[in-house]
Every structure is written in C-alpha cells, then in structure tokens.
C-alpha cells in the first residue's frame, strides 16, 4: 500500500528500509495491502498533494558513461543507451534506473526530460515483459492473474540482466550492513526533499522518481523511490522495494498496474 505524504514528519537518525524475503510471508509487520474495493489512486492531504508539476527537488543531470574506457559501464544493444554499473558485495547492479521504452512505460509527469533524469516508470506487467518479447520467463505475468515465472526473469532488462527478486534485494541489504541503514546509504546525495538525501556510500544512487497510478496521475517526485521486484504476492499485488524521504518504511503490497522504477541486476553467469 502506498503511503501518503504526512503533513508533518518524524525526525529519524537513520533512514530505514524493510523488505520481506517473500512479501506475502508475514503481514503483521508491514502495512496492510489496499482493500479489494479501494481506489487504486493515492489521495494525499490537500496541502501535500503532488501532481505532474515538478517538485522543488533538484537532481544533477545524468552523465553518460563510455563503455570503451569505463569498465563499470554497460550499453543496452536494443537502443544504444549506456548505464553505469556498480558491484556491491557479490552482486552487480545498474547504478541507474532503466530507461528502455516499452508499452506501459512512462516518464514522470509525461515529461521526456524526466525519463532522462529518473528512467522510466513501468507497470509490473511491463517490467516483467509479460508479452514475452525478450524472454518467456515472465510471460503472462500481470494484473488480474497469477503466474509461475521462471527465475531469473529478464523482464524489461537488457540481455544478461534481470529483474531482482525480493530475496536478491535482501542480499543487497546484507551487503550494505543491514536493513536499518540501507535506506540512508543507497539513496543519492541530491534530489530528495526535506533533508532526505542519502550518503550514496555504495554508489547505488537511488533517485526519488515517484510513481504513476492507473489514472495517469503522478505523485511524490523528490519524496519516494519505488523499485519493482519479480516476486508476486497474488493476482493483484506484486512486491517492491520502497525508500521514503524521512522514515524509510516499505509498503510491500502494491497494485501491479502502478508505474514504478526498475533497477536491473546482472545475471550470475554473466558476472
């Protein structure tokens, strides 16, 4: 369930991020999933509501890397875009959100420059490549249906990369000294509202890209970062990692038709 922005915030010494190994394992410690009859859109308090208008947050413009001179650089052969990469523990991650255009992918606020800044926002079906364009591992996965994907799920990621599972996010947390500090050290050093910037100690550079609901409205640029996993909870909900600007709580049950960011993880055999 997405958390509406509060009219006030609690000051915390460290930003926490919590993630279930399988987000359906234990509801008691996490926010309740939205009721079956609830609207899919978030309704923030009127004084705090955010729309497609850009927030006051500022993110340093993206700089391209060169695959010929930088070993931590990868080129997506599908469109020629390059992405910075980073190895954290035993995993190699893209250090940027994927920006490959597909059906059901969007730029925050329908502004192309935001795709350059943040990457695209994808529904879960688009993130999983439910139509099976690039692989069949996530074919048929989407809203209103349960599926049995074959892991790893390449999804929208380039060849040799995949959409991480919740267990793989947990591995990331372990590598950065635990969940209690993961939010702070994974967030970028700029762009987050209300003194919410992180230390980016591991060069993961999580950006507050916000999200898109199924009505085409955009919320929480500068406040929140959401990353899809390939782990399904049920026919309507899938799991995601969620970083919040001041308290870092993770709401693991989110509708599959929301538009979230995607961070690709390198396949083990491609290391």
Whether residue 145 is contained in a domain is answered as yes
Three-class DSSP labels, 26-63 = CHHHCCCCCCCCCCCCCCCCCCCCCCCCCCCCCCCCCC
Tell whether 64 is covered by a domain: no
- Is 164 inside a domain boundary? yes
Check if the beta carbon of residue 134 is closer than 8 Å to that of residue 154: yes
Average confidence (pLDDT) over 202-229: 97
Phi, psi of 174 (to 5 degrees): -60, -40
What is the C-alpha to C-alpha distance for residues 61 and 167, in angstroms, rounded to an integer?
32
82 domain residue, yes or no: yes
* Number of domains making up the chain: 1
d(CA 151, CA 163): 9
In a domain, residue 7? The reply is no
133, part of any domain: yes
pLDDT of residue 62: 63
- Residue 261 belongs to a domain: yes
Residue 252 confidence (pLDDT): 64
* pLDDT tens digits, one per residue of 224-244: 999 999 999 999 999 999 888
Q: Are 3 and 251 in contact (CB under 8 A)?
A: yes
Residue 148 has pLDDT above 50, yes or no: yes
Strand 265-266 to strand 73-75: parallel, antiparallel, or no bridges (unpaired)?
unpaired
pLDDT at 152 > cutoff 60: yes
Instruction: Residue 173: give the domain boundaries.
Output: 16-21+69-271
47 has pLDDT over 60: no
Written as six digits, the tokens of 40 are: 């899919």
How far apart are the C-alpha atoms of 1 and 250, rounded to whole Å?
Answer: 9
Question: If we measure between CA atoms, which residue out of 191, 199, 197 comes closest to residue 62?
Answer: 191
CA 51 to chain centre: 19
Q: Quick one: average pLDDT of 254-271?
A: 90
Q: What is the mean pLDDT of the chain?
A: 80
pLDDT at 67: 92
What pLDDT was estimated at residue 245? 77
pLDDT at residue 250 above 70? no
pLDDT number for residue 195: 85
Residue 253 lies inside a defined structural domain of this protein: yes
């Amino acid at each position: 369930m997405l958390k509406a922005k509060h009219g006030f915030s609690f000051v915390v010494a460290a930003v926490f991020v919590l993630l279930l190994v399988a987000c359906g394992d234990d509801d008691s410690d996490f926010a309740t999933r939205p009721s079956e009859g609830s609207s899919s859109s978030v309704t923030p308090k009127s004084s705090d509501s955010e729309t497609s208008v850009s927030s006051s947050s500022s993110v340093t413009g993206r700089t391209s890397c060169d695959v010929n001179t930088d070993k931590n650089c990868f080129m997506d052969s599908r469109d020629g875009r390059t992405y910075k990469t980073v190895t954290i523990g035993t995993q190699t991650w893209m250090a940027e959100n994927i920006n490959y255009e597909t059906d059901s992918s969007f730029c925050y606020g329908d502004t192309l420059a935001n795709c350059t800044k943040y990457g695209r926002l994808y529904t879960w079906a688009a993130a999983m490549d439910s139509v099976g364009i690039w692989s069949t591992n996530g074919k048929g996965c989407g809203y209103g249906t349960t599926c049995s994907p074959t892991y790893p799920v390449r999804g929208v990621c380039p060849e040799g990369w995949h959409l991480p599972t919740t267990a793989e996010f947990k591995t990331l947390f372990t590598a950065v000294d635990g969940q209690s500090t993961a939010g702070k050290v994974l967030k970028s050093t700029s762009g987050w509202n209300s003194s919410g910037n992180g230390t980016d100690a591991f060069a993961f550079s999580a950006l507050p890209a916000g999200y898109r609901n199924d009505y085409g409205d955009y919320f929480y640029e500068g406040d929140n970062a959401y990353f899809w996993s390939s782990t399904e909870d049920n026919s309507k909900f899938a799991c995601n990692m969620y970083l919040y600007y001041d308290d870092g709580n993770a709401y693991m049950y989110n509708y599959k038709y929301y538009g979230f960011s995607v961070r690709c993880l390198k396949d083990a055999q491609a290391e």
